[in-house]
Amino acid sequence: MTKKILIVDDEPNIVISLEFMMKREGFEVATAADGDAALAQVAAFAPDLVLLDVMMPNKSGYEVCEILRADPARAGLRIVMLTAKGRETEVAKGIALGADAYVTKPFSTKDLVAQVKSLLG
* pLDDT tens readout for residues 105-118: 888 888 999 999 99
**CA dist 55 → 43, 64, 73, 117 (Å):** 21, 11, 25, 24
pLDDT in tens, 84-102: 876 788 888 888 999 999 9
Residue boundaries of the structural domains of the chain: 4-114
> What is the topology classification, in CATH, of domain 4-114?
Rossmann fold (3.40.50)
Cis peptide before 106 (omega within 30 of 0): yes
User: Angle 93-107-45 (CA atoms, 0-180°, nearest 5)?
Assistant: 70
Please state the separation of Cα 81 from the chain's center in Å.
Answer: 5
Q: Whole-angstrom Cα distance, residue 86 to residue 63?
A: 18
Question: Considering the entire predicted model, what is its pTM?
Answer: 0.94
Q: Whole-angstrom Cα distance, residue 118 to residue 105?
A: 19
pLDDT in tens, 38-87: 999 999 999 999 999 999 989 999 999 999 999 999 989 999 999 887 67
Q: Of 37, 25, 43, 108, whose CA–CA distance to 7 is shortest? A: 37
